Structure 1
Amino acid sequence: MSIPQLLTLLAMLLHIAGILAAMHAVMHTRTPQGAFAWALGLALLPYVTLIPYLYLGRSHFRGYVTLHRAHRQRLSQASLRGEQGGVPEECAQYAALSQMLGNNFHAGQQLQLLINGEAAFEAIFHAIAQAEHCILIQFFIFHDDALGRRMQQALLERAAAGVKVFALFDGIGSHALPRHYVETLRHGGVAIYPFATQRYSNRFKLNFRNHRKIVVVDGWLGFLGGLNVGDEYLGLKPPLAPWRDTHLQMSGPAVLDLQRSFAVDWHWVTGELPPIMPPRLAQGEAYSLIAATGPADPQESCSLYFTVVINAARKRLWLTTPYFVPDQAVMSALRLAVMRGVDVRVLIPVRPDHRTVFLASTLHAYDAINAGIRIYRYQPGFVHQKVILIDDESASIGSMNLDNRSFRLNFEIGALNVDRAFALDVERMLVADFALAVEVTRDEYRKAAYLRRLAMHVARLFDPIL
């Protein structure tokens, strides 16, 4: 067979594979927009789109979904049996969230706001050092750098002291983590595994990553938020430094739901359950709802989480996110909040860490400004925190970004807290952040060069996978 004939045959095979993949995309992609984009690209340009589809387009992980939902239902029923009454009156505006998630608002929480990496990791390391029985730790990213090795040593020390240590990291988020880092922990008595929705080959699977950040010590002290384990989260790696982020320390009954979220993921990876310890009674005043969301849920739980929280606002909605790529439901909720007279402000970065997302975010920011939403760019460094302040009594802190990847593709976790004192702490923090930000005007888009504006519109075509 001649070279031209071989190339012709190869082209035909690629087009056939593209058509088959397009049929798969039509049947299995979660949104009509995503299905149309993939199908069109695969049918017409399989040379360009076929390999990306292998990485990004697969959307079914039935084994995980079945097991995940069974565990969630069983654990939620156990939680509901342990609580008396329904949603507290103070939290009535979020009753739909409690029903969707199958979780209760827990009273008596003690909450502490941890601003930036140094404060957060000092609190986490202090808690780990005090552990007597069990540590559950889960991060999207572990790096083998100074902070990562400090975490490694802290876990090894507690394991050597007889504490049971269970650790999860995401297989793609921590793709650069060397094998010897994990093996050192295992040899030291730490049970540590990568998370993946498929137990076997995962080479072509970039979607459905576990983006959660959870630490639970002895069943009663919990941490969650936006930080991962790496030097950049301490602001030690320019050009994104200083790194602006927020974590939450909590104690009280809601920590049990952090353990349950970890247990579902751990059981999928290992086939076993970690110990679930009873939380200590706390003397706090806050109500907290733990929201563990992800693509295995029957509903698009993360997008609905944002929608319900936005719709609850009556006076003020301040929101910070590194990636502003709202879907139609969330954008509509933000528009309606403005129409209700709510002070809607969004804090986003001035510097990109992912250029395509940054371009798409810039165009969405322009649309938001036209809708009356006030957009600010944080000037000192990269803002990575995921915080929502609702009126004067509610605040959410977690791992959830305002983009489609968090809405539909990632496993996330957050805490919605109802307490005036804690909301005031969050308000003070955000007032300081906005003081270091510059409000964006329409000119950011209008005065941009034509090719840059074109790049923004092209980037927005990729919203379903950003």
Structure 2
Amino acid sequence: MMQLSDRYEKLKNGLKGMLEFRKRHRVKLKRYLLITMHILGVVSSFDAVMNTRTSQGAIAWVVSLNTLPVVAVPAYWVFGSNDFDNYIEERRSHREKLRPLAQRLMREEGVSAVELQDQSPLANSLRSLSLLPITHSNKVELLVDGRNTYDSIFESILEAESYALVQFYIIRDDDTGQRFRDLLIEKARQGVAVYLLYDDYGCIDIGEDYLAPLRSAGVRVSSFLDLVGPANGLQLNFRNHRKIVIVDGAVGFVGGLNVGDEYLGLHPELTPWRDSHVKVSGPVVTYLQIPFVEDWHWATGEWLETLDWNPVDKAIVNETSPKIDPQGVSAICVPSGPSDDVQTCNLFYQAAINAAEKRIWLSTPYFVPDESFIHALQLAALRGVEVKLIIPENSDSTLVNLSMQSYFAELHQLGIEIYRYQEGFLHQKVMLVDDHFCAYGSANLDNRSFRLNFEVMVGFFSKDFARKTEAMLTEDMANSQLAPEGQLLDRNLFYRFSVRVSRLLAPIQ
């Protein structure tokens, strides 16, 4: 009996010793892991200082890498580093091979007939930024919200005879996404050349069950970046946020809507969904093809030579005369991306703000800009320009919602009005300048659109279309509440602190 008791005690002590040994080693392992992450945080901080594109972004990364290295180090090597310089050089080399196309189009005989010879500072700035002309003799139609937009896009694709170029940041495998897929399949089977380009991150939930039927029907499908593999996965931060549809080179669509049920007001929380798109026809569509072709060439290596590249053929003509009608809408396509020589997207907005004499109205779901953008708005207000900003009351990002509030005080102090949209989620990206210029597209007023995303905006020089834009934004403001001055002073200390911390992280949002 004593022997069994002794054996039991030895076994119990042995198990106890093993548990204590594992516990000690687990503690040591955690300690070593934490030390390792702090070392990697310091090393990553050096990389951030040397390679991050802005000082604000570098500061934000350095602070987070050294205070929360366990979270920040993996995040930095996925979202922050990405071997940016090599990526930019490779992307630029592709763009430079294609850019002569734009130059040839502008030199082509007859193009002067559709180019607007406006020498205003804003017109000259936009030409230089985009390297594309301002064309007149265009038509534009404003599409408000999802149903109107999808009906128009689907109808135009249904009428395609030669080709359809389709590019979206997000495509959902839901009822809307399946209707969209079935339409592309139908047109491909009719012999129409259909090209579908999607962003890997935005369409991360799209699988082969969705894509395989498209390919089987003859639709040319490509992702913008292949995220499969350890190296390619580090390019996650470079997202193609463009939304472009072009039919037969004659009709084009750009704006804020992707493809999904939420854009029809079916999101479980952010509903109704408030968005805007535009349908354009005329010479500007020729130039809207260029960012798609550049992206397609980058993704596939294929050069789409068979597209319609003659802008003159698309110009509006008088019904009683074969001559081009100069009374059409003047428009310019402004693509932007991280491989540009300058921050095209940021400068596009700032050029318009600086040109404003009477008013500048802006509508965006994400208002997290840099200091230079805030200063541009303040200078506009100081010279007597009416500045109004429309943003959502309820955002799909808590961090963005907090960050946006950190700008209120410095805007309010100069009389800038901030409207918080109440009727659902506001997702449109719209700008109105004075009584003659407005712009629609995919670019938000945040650092991601300014520096990391591939975006596209189309600007319109048209008093008539500016009036339509004014009416739409006036209705949006009627469905909004003015953000009161000093509203943060009424919130508790923790909330105000969270707002300030979110502002520090703005450059990496």
Tell me by how many angstroms 1:20 deviates: 2.6
Provide the C-alpha distance between the structure 2 equivalents of 1:18 and 1:5, rounded to a whole number of angstroms.
20
Match of 1:196 among 218, 225, 244: 225
- Contact map agreement 2:42 2:65 (CA 8 A) in 1: yes
1:245-269 deviation digits (Å, cap 9, x = unpaired): 0001001111111111101010111
Q: Which amino acid aligns with 2:38?
A: H
Percent identical among aligned pairs is 40
Tell me by how many angstroms 1:71 deviates: 3.6
1:161-200 deviation digits (Å, cap 9, x = unpaired): 0000001111001111122101111111111111128896
Match of 2:266 among 232, 236, 242: 236
Residue in 2 that maps onto 1:292: 335
Q: Which amino acid aligns with 2:246?
A: V
Asked if 1:424 is matched to 2:424, the reply is: no
Residue in 2 that maps onto 1:131: 160
Asked if 1:333 is matched to 2:363, the reply is: no
Q: Which amino acid aligns with 1:76?
A: A
- Contact map agreement 2:116 2:136 (CA 8 A) in 1: no
Which runs of no fewer than 5 residues in structure 2 stay unpaired? 1-20, 317-326
Provide the C-alpha distance between the structure 1 equivalents of 2:492 and 2:64, rounded to a whole number of angstroms.
28
Residue in 1 that maps onto 2:483: 440
Tell me by how many angstroms 1:365 deviates: 2.6
Match of 2:81 among 52, 58, 61: 58
Match of 2:499 among 439, 456, 466: 456
Single out whichever of 64-73 and 100-109 deviates more from structure 2. Answer: 64-73
Alignment of 1:12-23 (within 5 A): 12-23=35-46
Tell me by how many angstroms 1:42 deviates: 2.7
Match of 1:276 among 294, 298, 307: 307
- Contact map agreement 2:333 2:459 (CA 8 A) in 1: yes
Which runs of no fewer than 5 residues in structure 1 stay unpaired? none
- Contact map agreement 1:319 1:389 (CA 8 A) in 2: yes
Q: Which secondary structure state, in structure 1, belongs to the residue aligned with residue 280 of structure 2?
A: strand
Residue in 2 that maps onto 1:26: 49
Q: Which amino acid aligns with 2:61?
A: W
Provide the C-alpha distance between the structure 1 equivalents of 2:470 and 2:94, rounded to a whole number of angstroms.
36
Q: Which amino acid aligns with 1:335?
A: Q
- Contact map agreement 1:64 1:198 (CA 8 A) in 2: no
Q: Which secondary structure state, in structure 1, belongs to the residue aligned with residue 137 of structure 2?
A: strand
Match of 1:38 among 39, 61, 64: 61
Q: Which amino acid aligns with 1:172?
A: Y
Match of 1:254 among 281, 284, 292: 284
Residue in 2 that maps onto 1:372: 415
Single out whichever of 388-397 and 11-20 deviates more from structure 2. Answer: 11-20
Q: Please report the RMSD computed on the Cα atoms of aligned residues, expressed in angstroms.
A: 2.0
Task: Quickly say closer, same or farther: Cα 1:332–1:183, change in 2 above 3 A.
Answer: same
Task: Quickly say closer, same or farther: Cα 1:28–1:197, change in 2 above 3 A.
Answer: farther
Provide the C-alpha distance between the structure 1 equivalents of 2:105 and 2:496, rounded to a whole number of angstroms.
50
Match of 1:169 among 198, 210, 215: 198
Single out whichever of 184-193 and 15-24 deviates more from structure 2. Answer: 15-24
Tell me by how many angstroms 1:203 deviates: 2.4
Task: Quickly say closer, same or farther: Cα 1:22–1:425, change in 2 above 3 A.
Answer: same
Q: Which amino acid aligns with 1:465?
A: I
Asked if 1:213 is matched to 2:243, the reply is: yes
Task: Quickly say closer, same or farther: Cα 1:112–1:216, change in 2 above 3 A.
Answer: same
Asked if 1:153 is matched to 2:182, the reply is: yes
Task: Quickly say closer, same or farther: Cα 1:8–1:435, change in 2 above 3 A.
Answer: closer
- Contact map agreement 1:303 1:329 (CA 8 A) in 2: no
- Contact map agreement 1:64 1:268 (CA 8 A) in 2: no
Tell me by how many angstroms 1:303 deviates: 0.7
1:97-116 deviation digits (Å, cap 9, x = unpaired): 21122111011111111111
1:1-31 deviation digits (Å, cap 9, x = unpaired): 9725544443443333323322221221100
Provide the C-alpha distance between the structure 1 equivalents of 2:494 and 2:29, rounded to a whole number of angstroms.
39
Task: Quickly say closer, same or farther: Cα 1:199–1:134, change in 2 above 3 A.
Answer: farther
Task: Quickly say closer, same or farther: Cα 1:215–1:91, change in 2 above 3 A.
Answer: farther
Single out whichever of 71-80 and 332-341 deviates more from structure 2. Answer: 71-80
Single out whichever of 299-308 and 92-101 deviates more from structure 2. Answer: 92-101
Asked if 1:360 is matched to 2:403, the reply is: yes
Tell me by how many angstroms 1:207 deviates: 1.3
Tell me by how many angstroms 1:65 deviates: 2.4
Provide the C-alpha distance between the structure 1 equivalents of 2:28 and 2:46, rounded to a whole number of angstroms.
27
- Contact map agreement 1:212 1:412 (CA 8 A) in 2: yes
Asked if 1:412 is matched to 2:455, the reply is: yes
Q: Which secondary structure state, in structure 2, belongs to the residue aligned with residue 73 of structure 1?
A: helix
Q: Which amino acid aligns with 1:215?
A: V
Aligned residues: 466
Match of 1:89 among 108, 118, 121: 118
1:430-451 deviation digits (Å, cap 9, x = unpaired): 1111111111111432212222
- Larger CA Rg, structure 1 vs 2: 2
- Contact map agreement 2:95 2:294 (CA 8 A) in 1: no
Q: Which amino acid aligns with 2:307?
A: I
Q: Which amino acid aligns with 1:77?
A: Q
Provide the C-alpha distance between the structure 1 equivalents of 2:226 and 2:212, rounded to a whole number of angstroms.
22
Task: Quickly say closer, same or farther: Cα 1:436–1:5, change in 2 above 3 A.
Answer: closer
- Contact map agreement 2:91 2:298 (CA 8 A) in 1: no
Residue in 2 that maps onto 1:227: 257
Q: Which secondary structure state, in structure 1, belongs to the residue aligned with residue 182 of structure 2?
A: helix
1:262-285 deviation digits (Å, cap 9, x = unpaired): 010101111102342135423261
1:208-247 deviation digits (Å, cap 9, x = unpaired): 1000000000011000000000000111113211111000
Residue in 1 that maps onto 2:95: 69
Q: Which amino acid aligns with 2:43?
A: L
Single out whichever of 206-215 and 364-373 deviates more from structure 2. Answer: 364-373
Q: Which amino acid aligns with 1:413?
A: V
1:344-365 deviation digits (Å, cap 9, x = unpaired): 1111111121110011112213
- Contact map agreement 1:87 1:98 (CA 8 A) in 2: no
Tell me by how many angstroms 1:339 deviates: 1.2
Provide the C-alpha distance between the structure 2 equivalents of 1:438 and 1:13, rounded to a whole number of angstroms.
49
- Contact map agreement 2:438 2:460 (CA 8 A) in 1: yes
Q: Which amino acid aligns with 1:270?
A: T
Q: Which amino acid aligns with 1:218?
A: D
